[in-house]
A and B are shown apart, each in its own frame.
Chain A
């Protein structure tokens, strides 16, 4: 039996907006296995980042609220911890890498200053020890001239280097679990390849479990062991990466795979999913994908399907695969 690093059950996170309440994440279950990479795919607004923020308990206050759910990590329910206790876990046991390294780093503090802070707070190191460790970490993520870099400020580094600094910071306290929210989206392909390679190495060498959020299916294919596909705040399909790419079941996953130019054969037509992602304020009744679905049936417009296991480890939320339930 594989060990489980983090298990989230029935997370529901909502936001209060001027136009009413919006449920950004609705009944999401996630299991991250030890030493594995879980890929989370979906388009903008599908709730993938909010899921990550819910796990970190960083949902923007006061408008955002985690309404329901359980997040089990190291034998504790993260949602029941006090702010003080959560602060000890954040950064030390669970760390996060953000999409835009320029906004995630503080522009007025030097790199060394920001890295040392984590080590001093969480690991109780002295300034000198922390600096030594920071230099070691910066070397580890493949940035040359580490002694100089820790004295520099974020704007003096290139995008790829900033993202490496973010990764070095995220790793500084040897976390068990790391959330990477679109870590390579802002980078060029050759730099993206470097960063992905680095993350893969770290995952293999240090056994850190990773939740990897992206909209890029190519990156998922490369990185993930297991994948969940999200649409409009819900998980619509869940499988290991090979199954998902070779035998996708949900019409949305199928469409997503077919709409990537690198997935279609030469001379084959691109298949676009018609329509757009529905607004969270104005969700269609029944399955949220029904207005764009080619296989839409009557029941799809009436009732929300459940996430059903069709073969071991492969779950789909679609009436096409749930005849009994649909009746």
Chain B
């Protein structure tokens, strides 16, 4: 088996901005701008960043739910698309591949169809892919899946509104697991849940991974959750990766100034420790009109002239630790 389950190279997704009566394209929102990474078999890859940094778009473009602007995505040795050679997977193969890669959405209230009962929701994929012979078998299978996700099988006849947020999220997971995928994109799966329920969900997802040998792409804005849950983390800023490293390394020694201030912005959990925080000035610039050179230079306290002009190269500064900053060596010396 190949070491890497998923390989992404130079992924770009631009959304056109249209204006006027004839919807003339006047510019682009560079939601994802040249992103490359690899996810190993059995790994939990975390993607963190502030709202609007493009993390959700990465997840969706990977799954071919959105058409990429440019780039190469390889899943399990199979090329999903490669815009350089114009190669892309045919529709039938893509449908087969969809079984292998599933997604869990952020909002458990919006991602379940309120008019379908739970059994139908969970087994929709199974029926679509004709993996079950009839409705009865579909319901049986849904029951098993619900039980796997810690809900009672008898819930199949109920409707989504009868469940709490945490339970709905489990239904979402059961639906994602129905096709026995290898790879799950979890897009902020716990952000909408209460604190005590978040912990339940995280434990449950860890447990599933161990039992079913899953690989996750875990999208989150919560650094402490990522630190606890992920093996490897990439920090995104305005559509590009600022830094990527194994979790322990990244949290111990962040090299990019953005990661440093992001970590410092997280409220400390011990009231006895009074720390001086590094507060980032200003807001995130608009992705429709990102700053020239290094996108972070408008908020970076180390910024020099060259940061304003030249786009930094995303490079491996230490073994297995990638950074895109001109000054990484200098400021971390």
Contacts and interface: CB of A to CB of B under 8 A. Distances in A.
Contact of A256 (B196, B203, B229): B196
A264 B228 contact: yes
Main secondary structure on B side of the interface with A: helix
B271 A242 contact: yes
A246 interface: yes
Interface residues of A, number: 44
Contacts of A256: 195-196
B283 A222 contact: no
Contact of B50 (A190, A194, A224, A264): A190
A309 B265 CA distance: 35
Interface in B241-282: 248, 261-262, 264-272, 277, 279-280
B283 A216 contact: no
A242 B274 CA distance: 12
Nearest to B258: A190
Interface in B162-215: 164, 166-167, 194-200, 202-203
A28 B177 CA distance: 44
Interface stretch (B28-36, B37-45, B219-227): B219-227
Contacts of A217: 195, 269
Interface string A120-162: 0000000000000000000000000000000000000010110
B267 A216 contact: yes
A242 B51 CA distance: 32
Contacts of A255: 196
Interface stretch (A5-13, A67-75, A102-110, A269-277): A269-277
Given A197-B277, A256-B195, A261-B224, A272 B203 contact: yes
Given A158-B283, A188-B284, A260-B224, A276 B197 contact: yes
A218 B275 CA distance: 13
A279 to B, nearest CB: 9
Interface string A232-259: 0000000001100110000000011011
Interface in B76-90: none
Contacts of B277: 193, 197
Contacts of B197: 43, 276
Contact of B283 (A161, A245, A263, A276): A161
Interface in B262-317: 262, 264-272, 277, 279-280, 283-284
Given A193-B279, A261-B224, A270 B199 contact: yes
Contacts of A296: none
A126 B332 CA distance: 55
Contacts of B283: 158, 160-161, 191
Nearest to B272: A242
Given A221-B267, A270-B203, A276 B228 contact: no
Given A193-B265, A215-B195, A218-B266, A188 B50 contact: yes
A82 to B, nearest CB: 38
A111 interface: no
Q: How large is the interface on B (under 10, 10 to 19, 20 to 34, 35 or more residues)?
A: 35 or more
Residue of A197, A219, A256, A272 with highest tally of chain B CB at under 10 A? A272
A313 to B, nearest CB: 15
A221 B271 contact: yes
Best-surrounded residue of B166, B196, B225 (most CB of chain A within 10 A): B196
Given A197-B277, A270-B228, A188 B267 contact: no
Nearest to B265: A193
B162 to A, nearest CB: 12
B268 A218 contact: yes
A197 B280 CA distance: 11
Given A189-B50, A189-B262, A222-B271, A194 B195 contact: no
Contacts of B272: 242, 245-246
A115 to B, nearest CB: 21
A260 B228 CA distance: 10
A272 B200 contact: yes
Contacts of A266: 248
B107 to A, nearest CB: 14
Nearest to A192: B265
Contacts of A224: 271
Contacts of A246: 272
A296 to B, nearest CB: 16
A263 B273 CA distance: 13
B194 A44 contact: yes
A258 B203 CA distance: 13
A273 B200 CA distance: 7
Nearest to B224: A262
8 contacts: A190-B261, A191-B50, A193-B280, A215-B195, A260-B199, A270-B203, A273-B200, A274-B200
Interface of A: 43-44, 158, 160-161, 188-194, 196-197, 215-222, 224, 241-242, 245-246, 255-256, 258-264, 266, 270-274, 276-277
Closest 10 CB pairs of A and B: A218-B267, A262-B224, A261-B228, A259-B199, A272-B199, A193-B265, A188-B50, A43-B194, A273-B196, A272-B200
